Every structure is written in structure tokens, then in C-alpha cells.
Amino acid sequence: MSIFKGSGVALATPMKENGEINYDSMAKLIEAQIKGGTDALIVCGTSGEAPTLDDPEHLDAIRFAVEQTKGRIPVIAGTGSNNTAHAVMMSEESEKLGADGLLLVTPYYNKATQDGLYVHYRKIASATKLPCIVYNVPSRTGTNILPETLARLAKDQKNIVAVKEASGNISQVAKLSALAGESLDIYSGNDDQIVPVCSLGGIGVISVLANVAPGETHDMVMMCLEGRYEEAKKLQLKALPLVEQLFIEVNPIPVKAALNMQGFNVGSPRLPLTEMTVLHKESLRQAMVDFGCL
């Protein structure tokens, strides 16, 4: 059974001026997402600045999201690591906190072999009853998990149920869909490829765009799932200029700037990420106006 179908927002983590998590702003973000039609919350992932969260605040952010959401939509906790034992610990703790699923990024920097990735993911998934989503993002991690490895994991570990595919390689998505079939749900990890991935069997997106345009991102997926591909294509193409601006600097620098423009007071990214340049802020603002989310 799928954790969700539709649009899962890769939620930004709001920060105060002193660098602490701003839970008042986080509550407003969550409520706006639910009201806007988002189908799942993904907390403490890349957009949530997980690399700069220490373990206590990382887990506290997950706890808060679970409590604020109150079961209205699934909460998926980012608990991946390049240290398998650490990922196991964070996953176990997130299960205790009431998370509905886990997002597990491919180990970064270590550059594990395909066999190493297989053992890594099975070790984590075996430590929890929660459904697990493998997050494949080679541009960030330096490692690509191959379709054959994903299909093997889905066959051998029943709570590995999905992949967030952010390789950008549509041929790889097609091969994965052919190999894994219905044993593995596929979510687009790229906002500019929602329609193509859904056309190959995907059931949704884990999205940065949804932070600022939750309704449109949800609608795009639903159009695909209902076979309304011409409408979905038009919305995908309309969103492209905004998606480009949301990645004109490294994520989540632009999306935090965009949310601040919308009045959510999410603050600045934590170092080593910095504020968006003035020039890029202006082009982002114009793209938001043109798309209708500002």
C-alpha cells in the first residue's frame, strides 16, 4: 500500500535570527500545506537542511510535525545518513515519535558499491516497521542506485516500498518501472519531471515547488493519475520558469527566499548556505508573480 499518492512537500525548516528552529512559523507552514492540498509532509530532508540539524533538534522537528499534523496527512521523516548505524538510530527514534514513513538518502561521500547500498538499506529497513522511501539523488551524493538494486531491495525487503527518483535520467526511471513493476512506488524527485515520471508509472512527487505552490503541484499529479495528461503538460510547462528559479542557487536557498516573500518568516539558511543574491531574488520574485503564487 502506498504511503501517499500525489504531492509530498519537501518542507523547508524555518529558522529564527539566532539560528534556532522557528516552530511558530513551522506550524503556519504545515497548516498552509494541508489547506493547499498537499498529500504528505517530508520533514528534515534536503530542503529541511538536515545536514546542519543536530540529532536532538532533528528529532524534535519530526516530533513537532507529527503533533501539528495530527494524522491529517502522512509525515515522512528524513533519517538517511552515510553512517548506517546512525541512520538506524534516527529511524528507530522517528518511529517512536509517530512518523508514518522514512525518507532515506543514498549514502553520500562514502560512495558505496551497489552491494553496499543493498546491505545498507536492508539494515535500516529491518530495524523499523515503517515504510521506507529510498532517495536517489546522485548530484548531491555522488552515488547512483541502479534500477536493478532498487528492484532487488523491493523484492527482498517488504517495507522498502518506494523511491524518490532525482537522478534526472528518464531512461533510468523507465527501466526501474519495467523491473520493479507494482512492487515499488516511484515519486519524481525533480519538479520539472513530474509529468514524465508519472507517465512511466510514477504516483507522485516529493517536491520543492510545493512549498510555494501546493495546490498546483497536487493538481498536476492528480491530472496525471486521472489520465488528463494534456492538462498536466500545460501546468508542468507553465511551472518551468518558477522551478528554474527555485534551483538557480542551491536548494533550499531560493525556496526559503520565496517563502519569506510569501510572508512565512522562515529566516535564512544555516551556514554554509547563505542568503540568495539580490539579482536572483528579483528574478525569483518575477517568476512567482508570473506563476500566480505571489
User: So which residues are the catalytic ones?
Assistant: 135, 164
Q: How far apart are CA 194 and CA 60, in angstroms?
A: 31
Cα separations in angstroms, 143 against 89, 114, 183: 23, 9, 23
Angle between helices 214-225 and 23-36 (to 10 degrees): 40
Q: How far apart are CA 185 and CA 196, in angstroms?
A: 15
- Dump strand ranges (E) for 132-203: 132-136, 160-165, 185-188
CB neighbours of 29 closer than 8 A, spacing ≥ 6? 11, 12, 14, 211, 259, 264, 266
Distance of CA 165 to the CA centre of its chain: 10
Instruction: Determine contact, residues 262/212, Cβ cutoff 8 Å.
Output: yes
Distance of CA 284 to the CA centre of its chain: 21
Q: How far apart are CA 106 and CA 141, in angstroms?
A: 7
Residue type, 17: E
Cα separations in angstroms, 93 against 59, 86, 128: 8, 11, 10
